[in-house]
Structure 1
Amino acid sequence: MDIKISRIEEATSEQWDTVVNQCDYATFFHSRGWAEIWEEYRNGKLRSVAKYITFNDGVEVLFPIMVQKISRGLLKQYMSGPEWQYGGWLSLHTLNEKHHNALLAYSYKLSLIFRQNPFDKSFPTDKVPWNDIDYTQVLDLRQGFDSIRNNWLTEHRSAVRNAERAVKAGVTLEEGITEADWQAYYRIYELAVVRWGDNLKGEKFDWRLYDLILKRRTKNVKLWIVKLDNKIIGGAIRFYQNKHVMSWNKAILRDYAKSYASNLLDYELIKHSCESGYWWYDLDTSAGLEGVIAYKTSLGTTQLSANVLVNESAMKRLSNPFRTALLSMSQKLSKPFHKSEDLTRDLDAGYSGKIEEQNRLEVPR
């Protein structure tokens, strides 16, 4: 049978939510809520135009897409997944190569940017002319936390040892629920941005973005805070969707680096994710930094492709400087906030209380 797209229409809220909430390889970055947050954060300059695509064999696909005007409004730039995060299509049906080829052909007609979804195992990675080859490192939680902890004790003892040191020092972990919790964490994030200085890649997010996330009160986003002597000294934001947990953002006050609070966060959040039935704990891309890659590898992670496509055929309509700037931005947003020479290659040192190294392991976009 010749597989063809028979209908393309705007996705309804119900269609969008149904697919995202039931598709095993969906991430929070595919959700309607994430798109709506960015619509509001960008004051309507970035708009959702998600598509619901039907094939002549009855297969249905959700394609989350957003659009913004560029070149003084003369052209439209489409992206699947705002903030250069995972995009691509989702389906409750099994997609074969013909479905993917038709969807790729459709996407090539757009001036489209998207980062590959690493968890779509049927996606034809080798068929796409990627502009930026990249990967994320993920921890497979299906083995259970006892197995993961045993691996740490064998391969990376400091992951356990330093978490135990934090508990002994009196560091506690809890979910940040109130606006005051979120504001306290945001102030810590701001201080971290100041420390990064010229090494900061990408943009510093305003409090407004955090406030928009908080006000949605969604179960898919959690702020975890660490305290010492009842003072918030750091935290981490995690996105939860179906089988996937995403490490989006983490910051610790520099003066409390030796409390090992960062280590306790990682230890307890991985444990919590296992116990909650999630399959994947996503540690994000590492920008090719050997020390960071080695640390994540020692935790038992595997590498999954997370390449970036900037549709070159459509982009040829634009000037070379603009195309170069877009590619540069995609690379920057997957790069660390520290120069490589600032990072130790010693795995134990990477989690021994040095706040710069610890913050790098969570790249706030």
Structure 2
Amino acid sequence: MRSQLVTSDVWWEVARACAYATFFHTPLWHQLITMTYPGCRDITPSVVLANGTRAVLPLLEDSSPSNRLPIRFSTFAGCYGGVVADGPIEGREGETAVSHLFQTAVSWRISRFKCLSNPFAPVETLPQSLPKIRDDFTHILALEPDYETIFARFTKGHRSSIRKGQRMGVSVRLAETLEDYQAYYQTYEDSLRRWGERASSHYPWRLFENGFALAQQYPDNIRLWVAEAEGRILGGAWVFYWQRHAVWWHGAVLEDFFAYNPSNVLQDAIIRDACARGYRYYDFNPSGGYEGVIRFKRHHGAEEWPLSRYEYQPPLFRLSRALKTRFRKKVAP
């Protein structure tokens, strides 16, 4: 069985045909990342099984100067990865295909390969030999049977916070201009200031600028929602859509307007819209271990879905690190 770099047409077709594909398994996510980070390149492989099924492993390689050796991801920023396919990948041949795709990812010329499991995918989309480093979870809200029932399942305090924010004049709309995105980025910078060293990531403005450009081409898949009051944007939530899955990927609000409950009003409007557009799941995404974030998601009635985080390091790289650690201990005073 031979793999090859996937063509854009094949990848789009597979992502559209795969019931468990998310936005992070599409060419759009990789396009956004490679537009933003010059050191990242798309090296997504694909194989064709005897039954005609096409399998694709979304794969990025980061060769930025800050990395001694390239790092590979499925996918970027610790988002869902693993194989997607336009047909069954069961049995011995399916296992061989998945294993072969992952073998292309774990080259000896890299420092590590990272992958987060896809909570919607069958277990056969990941090889059993991939080293798991820890368990994790995301919070997912099933959007059924209707919005009114879902809203009634919110905690009493959460419903009260939404109504309070609405009474204080908070309204929600889609970002329409680059200036809207810039205003949202300012709320993100305010959040970074507040988080300080606790911030787990720091995304550059060009990521959001490129996201705005892609949203003009794919308005149903990339949506920045913003909350407003007193003539200004108080915060927002960047939500990605694919198939019947909507995922909240990024959010921020201004600290001075916490009393307006913009996050509560925002999420209510986004969930209402997702219900109206026929989405089945609203995914709050992993919480990074932050208890306050976890509680906020639980207030919506969202349930924990298990995830696994995997990381492979080539033996030579592990040996090199071990030797360096041993040498440092010997020369330490």
**So what's the TM-score if we normalise by structure 2?**
0.85
SS in structure 2 opposite 1:142? Answer: coil
Distance 1:269 1:88 in 2: 27
Structure 2: runs of 5+ lacking an equivalent: 107-112, 323-333
Give the superposition deviation at 1:116. 0.8
Match of 1:47 in 2: 41
Note if 1:193 corresponds to 2:187: no
Give the superposition deviation at 1:19. 1.4
99 and 311 in structure 1: CA distance in 2 versus 1, 3 angstrom threshold: farther
Give the superposition deviation at 1:140. 0.8
Percentage of identical aligned residues = 25
Match of 2:170 in 1: 171
139 and 318 in structure 1: CA distance in 2 versus 1, 3 angstrom threshold: same
Where do 1:227-266 residues align within 5 Å?
227-266=228-267
Note if 1:88 corresponds to 2:55: no
Match of 2:55 in 1: 61
SS in structure 2 opposite 1:7? Answer: coil
208 and 18 in structure 1: CA distance in 2 versus 1, 3 angstrom threshold: same
Query: Which letter maps to 2:6?
Result: A
Match of 1:271 in 2: 272
SS in structure 1 opposite 2:267? Answer: helix
Query: Which letter maps to 1:56?
Result: A
Where do 1:111-150 residues align within 5 Å?
111=106, 112-123=113-124, 127=128, 128-150=130-152
298 and 120 in structure 1: CA distance in 2 versus 1, 3 angstrom threshold: same
Distance 1:162 1:322 in 2: 50
Mapped contact 2:99–2:127 kept (Cα < 8 A):
no
SS in structure 2 opposite 1:304? Answer: strand
SS in structure 2 opposite 1:86? Answer: coil
Match of 1:226 in 2: 227
Match of 1:31 in 2: 26
Mapped contact 1:160–1:267 kept (Cα < 8 A):
no
* Partner deviation per Cα, 1:132-170 (whole Å, 9 max, x = no partner): 211111011133212212222xxx112211111111111
160 and 99 in structure 1: CA distance in 2 versus 1, 3 angstrom threshold: farther
Distance 1:256 1:74 in 2: 43
SS in structure 2 opposite 1:138? Answer: strand
Which deviates more, 96-105 or 131-140? 96-105
126 and 58 in structure 1: CA distance in 2 versus 1, 3 angstrom threshold: closer
Note if 1:207 corresponds to 2:202: no
Mapped contact 1:273–1:281 kept (Cα < 8 A):
yes
Note if 1:110 corresponds to 2:105: yes
250 and 99 in structure 1: CA distance in 2 versus 1, 3 angstrom threshold: farther
Match of 2:179 in 1: 180
Give the superposition deviation at 1:31. 1.5
258 and 86 in structure 1: CA distance in 2 versus 1, 3 angstrom threshold: same
Give the superposition deviation at 1:97. 4.7
SS in structure 2 opposite 1:87? Answer: coil
Structure 1: runs of 5+ lacking an equivalent: 1-5, 324-365
Give the superposition deviation at 1:95. 2.5
236 and 125 in structure 1: CA distance in 2 versus 1, 3 angstrom threshold: same
Query: Which letter maps to 1:39?
Result: T
Give the superposition deviation at 1:68. 3.1
